[in-house]
Structure 1
Amino acid sequence: MLIGYARTSTLDQTAGLEAQQRDLTGAGCERTYVEQVSSVDVGDRLELARALDNLRAGDALVVTKLDRLARSMAHLMELLKLIEAKGATLRILSMNLDTGTPTGRLMLNVLGGVAQFEREIMLERQREGIAKAKAAGKYKGRAPTARAKEGQVVSLAAKGISLSEIARQLGIGKASVHRILKGQQASEQ
C-alpha cells in the first residue's frame, strides 16, 4: 500500500497543502496523513507518527518533497531506519526517488547531504546578517513578551493564583512566570 504524508509549516499555506494532497493521490496513495506544523516541532507531528505506525511490510511512505518529511540529514536517516525496520520503503515524488532500489538509496544520501549543506549555509548567512545588523544598531531581537507582563504576573500571584493558571491567562510559559516571581523575591530581599 502507498501511504502519503503531506505537511506545511503554517496554517495559511493551504494551496501548498492541497497541491501535495493532489500529487499524492495522483501517485496512487490509498491513505494520506496531513498536518500543518513546523518540521522543528517533532513532538507535535502526530500525523507523521500515525503514518509511520501504519506502515507494514511492502508498503511505501510517499512524500512530494524531502523537506516535507525531514528537517536534517540525521532526522532523515532516523526516519528511514524506522521505515526500513517495518519492511517498507520511502518514495519522494519530486526526486523520482525510491529507497526500495540501490540507486534510490544512494541518491537519497547524496541529495540529503546537499540539502543539509544548503540549510547550514542559509543559517550561516542569517547569523552573519544578524551580526551585521547588531553592529549597525539596527537589530533589536525579539521583544521580551513575558517581562512586559511582569506587573500582571506579580499581581495575579499576590491573589494566590497558581503558576500554571497565571501562565495560561497571560499566554506565557510557566517557566517565565516562575522566573519573574523568583526575580521579584530576590529584589525584595
Structure 2
Amino acid sequence: MLARCYLRASTDEQDAARARDDLERFAAERGLPVASWYVENESGSKLARPELFRLLGDSKPGDVLLIEQVDRLSRLNETDWKRLRAELDSRSVRVVALDLPTSWTLAAPADEFTGRMFGAVNAMMLDVLAAVARKDYDDRRRRQAQGIAKAKAGGRYRGRPEDAERNAAIIKMLKAGQTWATIVMATGASRSTLARLVKRA
C-alpha cells in the first residue's frame, strides 16, 4: 500500500502545496510510504484535471489517494462526481482525507470485514462531503455573480487584474520552446492560463 498525495488549489494565486507538511506528517505517523506528489492549480469543479488523472493512472489496487480535505478532490456536480467515484472504485483506490476521520482506517492494513465496513462508511461520508463542497461552490459563485452585477450597475466593476509580470515571463518561456510541464512547474500557472497566453506568444 502506497500513498499518492494530491494537492490542489483553484487559482494560480493560491499555493497548491500549502498542505504538504500536514500530509507528510499524517503518512509518517502511520508508516505509510509516499510514492509521489501530484500538485495542480485547477478548479475542483472540473473533472478534467491532468495531475489527478496522472495519479489515477499511476495507482495500483489498494493505493491511498491522500488529500487534506474532500473539497481538494471534488467540487464536482453530481454526474461528474459519480464518474470520478466509478474511476476510483474501478482502480480500487482508497480515498483518505485529513478532514474525514472515518477514512483514516483505510490508511492501514485491516481484515476483510473491517475493511469492507469502514469502506462502506467512508464511501457514504465521501458522497456527503462532496455534495457539501459542491453546494459551497455554487453558493460562492452565486454571491460572486450578485456582487459583480451590483458593481457593474454602479460602474465600479473592472475585473481581476492580470499578473502582467508573471504572464510576460510565461510568454518568454513559451517563445524559448519550454514545455508546458516545465512552465507550470516553474510558475505555478494553470494549463488554461498557458492556453490563453500561447495565443500572444
Same fold (TM over 0.5): yes
Counterpart of 2:128 in structure 1 is: 110
Q: How does 1:108-187 map to 2 (within 5 A)?
A: 108-141=126-159, 171=197, 173=199
Give identity over the alignment, percent: 25
**Does the 8 A contact of 1:6 with 1:20 survive in 2?**
no
Q: Displacement, 1:13?
A: 2.0
Tell me the amino acid that sits aligned with residue 20 of structure 2.
Answer: E
Task: Measure, in 2, the Cα distance between the counterparts of 1:67 and 1:23.
Answer: 20
Structure 1 residues 71-93: Cα deviation after superposition (integer angstroms, max 9, x where no partner): 31444332221111022322212
SS at match of 1:6: strand
**Does the 8 A contact of 1:24 with 1:62 survive in 2?**
no
Counterpart of 1:78 in structure 2 is: 83
From 47, 56, 61, the equivalent of 1:57 is: 61
Q: Mark the runs of 5 or more structure 1 residues left unpaired by the alignment.
A: 145-167, 178-189
Pairing 1:19–2:21 present: yes
Change (3 A) 1:122 1:131: same
Task: Measure, in 1, the Cα distance between the counterparts of 2:14 and 2:76.
Answer: 24
Change (3 A) 1:37 1:140: closer
Change (3 A) 1:93 1:115: same
Of 72-81 and 129-138, more deviation after overlay is shown by: 72-81
Structure-1-length-normalised TM-score? 0.63
Counterpart of 1:68 in structure 2 is: 72
Question: How many residues align structurally?
Answer: 150
**Does the 8 A contact of 1:97 with 1:104 survive in 2?**
yes
Task: Measure, in 2, the Cα distance between the counterparts of 1:39 and 1:60.
Answer: 22
RCO comparison, higher one (Cα < 8 Å, 6+): 2
Structure-2-length-normalised TM-score? 0.60
Change (3 A) 1:6 1:60: closer
Task: Measure, in 1, the Cα distance between the counterparts of 2:133 and 2:35.
Answer: 28
Tell me the amino acid that sits aligned with residue 92 of structure 1.
Answer: A
